[in-house]
Amino acid sequence: MKQKGISIFINSMFAVAIVVILILGSRFKSEDKSKDVQSYNFLIMEKDSEISALYSDGEKIYVGTNEGIHIYDAASLELLDTIDNIRMIYTASIVSDGEGGIFVGHEDGLTHIDADYKQTHFKAPQIPEGRVNTVAMRDKILYCGTYNGAAVLTKESGQWTVQKVLGKKDGLYSDSVNVILPVESGIFFGSYLDTQGGLTYVDNDGNITYYNAENGLVHPYVTSMIEDSLGYIWVGTGYMRDGGLFNLKKEGNTYVIGDTYTKADGIPGEKVRFLFMDDESFWITTEYDGVLVKKQNSSECIYLNQKMGLSDNEIKCIIKVNDYYLLGGKYGLTVIPKSFFNW
């Protein structure tokens, strides 16, 4: 039996009537039916691997693990190849270079893999020392976040080169950059492992807005960010048994903190680990307590955890490929068909 919400979890996709409920302070609460739920027979792959990043170009799936990047056929889920010199642990990411290749942020730096699998590596002092936490592409500019700043790369004369490194000296709230989210009007930088950190928004004209504990940030460690179809920014935060979720709404030329959600409001756990959204659903994963999947434009929710069939309670990344979702966990890769949700 699927676990369904019986009151409303507010998000920015709801109609005006629901926005009125938001003003009244409603939160989502789901009926606890876990005792009635049997384990779902999800396909589990990569059972012994820690999955830190997922990316698909539609034909291939790139799975970033602690043993290397495993490349699967998107249709058959057959293993095609392994890139074993790149190991991805803790936090990492993979993005398209827009030309058939990928950029990979990993434990030892940044690697560009072109369409012919040729690798170009970037390490200190080219980019800041330490592991790369995140990579993001905007207008053919690559942003590479580390705990010591964000490197900016562009392609010059056919070669990707580091143009500059952004940090506190350039206006970021912290040198620690754990998450980067480009949006149409600017770019967000979220910090981590900096108790005085938070979120920086730089608009296209160079104007900067900071979000921290003093102006409403639920926790200074930013773990994930995503933009919804209405332009709201959703931000996951936390560390161990503390944290939560909030959204930012556009006001004039900047964004302001909107609503905050914590475990008390129905999120499975305190620390939000990862956020994923498509037309059908909004996924909120946590560090220790599984996943909340909420149907868009509806109060219907499903909680999933290891006892119910996930590879692990900590889901670190999610992508949708064809008619199934891939969930990368602390241990293993869970495959959930879209039809499972019946919505």
Number of domains in the chain: 1
Look at residue 272 and tell me whether its pLDDT is greater than 60. yes
Q: Is residue 302 part of a domain?
A: no
Q: Of 27-41, 55-69, 236-250, 290-304, where does mean pLDDT reach its minimum? A: 27-41
Which range marks the domain in which residue 134 is found? 50-166
- Residue 72 domain flag: yes
Q: Is residue 73 part of a domain?
A: yes
CATH number of the domain at 121, please.
2.130.10.10
Beta bridge partners of 54: 63
pLDDT digits (tens, 9 = 90+) for 123-143: 999 999 999 999 999 999 999
Nearest to 181 by CA among 156, 158, 199: 199
- Domain assignment of residue 18, yes or no: no
In a domain, 88, yes or no: yes
Task: Decide if 126 is inside a domain.
Answer: yes
Query: pLDDT class for 94, splitting at 50, 70, 90?
Result: very high
- pTM for this structure? 0.89
Which of 331, 335, 273 lies closest to 50, judged by CA? 331
Q: Give the pLDDT of residue 32.
A: 42
Structure tokens at 74: 């998107």
List pLDDT tens digits, range 235-259. Answer: 999 999 999 999 999 999 899 999 9
- CA atoms lying within 13 Å on the CB side of residue 234: 22
Per the CB < 8 A criterion, the answer to whether 74 and 325 are in contact is no
236 in Cβ contact with 245 (< 8 Å)? yes
Residue 170 scores a pLDDT above 90: yes
Measure the CA–CA gap between 210 and 197, rounded to whole angstroms: 10
Q: Using CB atoms within 10 Å of the CB of residue 41, give its burial: 0 to 12 exposed, 13 to 18 middle, 19+ buried.
A: exposed
**Alpha carbons within 13 A on the beta-carbon side of 214:** 4
| Residue 254 domain-assigned (yes or no) | no
Tell me, yes or no, whether 41 lies in a domain.
no
**Token digits of residue 118:** 């040729």
Please state, in angstroms and rounded to a whole number, the distance separating the CA atoms of residues 274 and 241.
15
Q: Residues of 184-206 as b/e, b for ≥16 C-beta within 10 angstroms?
A: eebbbbbbbebeebbbbbbeeee
Alpha-carbon distance of 342 to 13, in angstroms, equals: 20
Strand segments (E) across 9-89: 43-45, 51-56, 60-65, 68-73, 79-83
285 in Cβ contact with 291 (< 8 Å): yes
C-alpha span between 113 and 71 (Å, rounded): 13
